[in-house]
Structure 1
Amino acid sequence: MNDTAQQFTTRQTAVLDAALSLLVDGGEKALTTAAIAKEAGCSKESLYKWFGDRDALLAAIISRQASKVRIPQAPKLSFTEMALHEALVDFAHNLLQVICSEVSIALNRLAISQASKGDYTLGKTLLNRGRGHIGAQTTVLLRQAEAAGFLKFDSAEAAYQVLYGLVLQDIQLRVLLGDSLRPEEQNLKQLAEVAVNHFLKLYQTN
């Protein structure tokens, strides 16, 4: 499980999911404390108690979305090349599912909208709590694979950036710009496989 998910109680997670639903359906204007409280069946006082101000609530929403990405773990028993391949493909597939979801697209559009007005708070939070957290956790597996002799690189962080780029390509950008050819679910697994195969050709030791 992603560590980000562990900071929220079941009730708080339900509230964040309600907020995400409002964001997707109505955009930024729909994301008011009154609307979230009504949708989640809680009081505004509870929202402020749990999450603080609006920026803190948005940060929590981003953390909730990032928690949906399954961080790849090294197999506890038999850490083989095949196990590494499967772990990376599962991660890449899940990352594509989350990044291409309506929720992630809505969050990125909101961040872009705010940045155009000179407010970079949400964008920085997306980078730190979303991409940054996922990357930091995934590099743990890459270092373990290097220690096991399966991968070779100068920097695990740089290798992760290559993996991330190979997985996402320009897919999210196209969706953000309104490309109607959103990848179908059956294609996401294939895209993940291709990306991981390219990554391993670059960094695998043999």
Structure 2
Amino acid sequence: MTGGGEGGREGATNAVPYGTVRGRRGGRPVSGEITIVSVAAVAAEESVPTERQIGVLDAVLRLLVEEGDRLTMTGVARAASCSKETLYKWFGDREGLLVATVRWQAAQVRVAPIDRTRLDRASLAERLEEFAVNWLTVIGSPTSIALNRVAIGTAAKAAAGETHTLGAIVLENGRFAMGRRLKPVLEAGRTAGLLAFDDTEEAFRTFFGLTARDVQIRLLLGDRITLDPETIRRDARRAVGQFLALHGARPTAGDAG
């Protein structure tokens, strides 16, 4: 993407989705019919980074690793070889830039679309397993580990009453966003008679715990855990099996004949 493109239509069209204006999606209607939207589609609806913008977000991640929460718009502009005016046009402000960066990192955790009318135990388990695989892959990446370490370092600021810390941004657009993406799948499973639970949040937390276990905290503390694709797939399959053992719907006497 050329420098001229940064200040033209591209900057204008992405100014609102990337800024800190809440709840706006460029005026486009959000479909809420049969198919559960994938996380990739949700990310596309809320903020679609261009190749040039991805370069900026990657630069932010590098700076967060190197400089922690001291990141500035001037430093990002220098590292990404773009103007501060372009950054403000695309992301609104520093908070908007951090939100977009965390969303970009979290968007790698995907949920494939599910047709509620054809949902069965096998397809539900497949979607849950893929989500768990993506999740474990992301939280085990060096960038994610570094980002979370920096975010944890801002906890004292949050405790002192400061809002919009990196920790708060990571929590809202990381863990809480994951919940918003997976809960519709869990609820679809319950509606289809495949899952049984009273509280969706509690069911999600159970799945979260079975998937992540102590992996993330050990990584944050410097433990060298083997997280190759085969190990991740095995752990994800185990987590789904345990979750279905806990929350899989049991046939009633009438169903059994």
* Structure 2 length-normalised TM: 0.73
- 1:4 maps to which residue? 43
Pick aligned residue for 1:127 from 158, 171, 191: 171
- Secondary structure of residue in 2 paired with 1:139: helix
Look up the equivalent residue of 1:17 and give its one-letter code. D
Shift of 1:176: 0.3
- 1:40 maps to which residue? 80
- Count of residues in Structure 1 that have an aligned counterpart in Structure 2: 205
Unaligned runs of 5+ in 2: 1-39, 251-257
Shift of 1:33: 2.8
Look up the equivalent residue of 2:155 and give its one-letter code. A
Shift of 1:60: 1.7
Pick aligned residue for 1:112 from 147, 152, 157: 152
What's the CA shift string for 1:131-155, capped at 9, x where partnerless? 1112012110111111111111101
Look up the equivalent residue of 1:4 and give its one-letter code. A
Pick aligned residue for 2:213 from 169, 178, 203: 169
Look up the equivalent residue of 1:113 and give its one-letter code. G
Shift of 1:35: 3.7
Does the aligned pair in 2 maintain the 1:92–1:167 contact within 8 Å? yes
What's the CA shift string for 1:146-190, capped at 9, x where partnerless? 111111110122101100111000101000000022422321111
Pick aligned residue for 1:90 from 124, 127, 130: 130
- 2:233 maps to which residue? 189
- Secondary structure of residue in 2 paired with 1:28: helix
Unaligned runs of 5+ in 1: none
Shift of 1:100: 1.4
Q: How does 1:2-81 map to 2 (within 5 A)?
A: 2-6=41-45, 7-10=47-50, 11-24=52-65, 26-28=66-68, 31-75=71-115, 78-81=118-121
Look up the equivalent residue of 2:184 and give its one-letter code. V
Does the aligned pair in 2 maintain the 1:15–1:36 contact within 8 Å? yes
Shift of 1:8: 3.2
What's the CA shift string for 1:96-133, capped at 9, x where partnerless? 11111122111211111122354562222211111111
- Point out the more displaced range, 70-79 or 137-146: 70-79
Does the aligned pair in 1 maintain the 2:102–2:174 contact within 8 Å? yes
CA RMSD of aligned residues (A): 2.1
Shift of 1:2: 4.8
Answer with 1 or 2: which has the greater Rg.
2
- Point out the more displaced range, 104-113 or 164-173: 104-113
Shift of 1:76: 6.3
**C-alpha distance in 1 between matches for 2:169 and 2:69:** 20
Shift of 1:48: 1.9
| More helix, by proportion | 1
Look up the equivalent residue of 1:22 and give its one-letter code. L
What's the CA shift string for 1:12-48, capped at 9, x where partnerless? 2331122213334x24278443342233332122112
**C-alpha distance in 1 between matches for 2:87 and 2:238:** 43
- Secondary structure of residue in 2 paired with 1:89: helix
**C-alpha distance in 1 between matches for 2:125 and 2:147:** 30
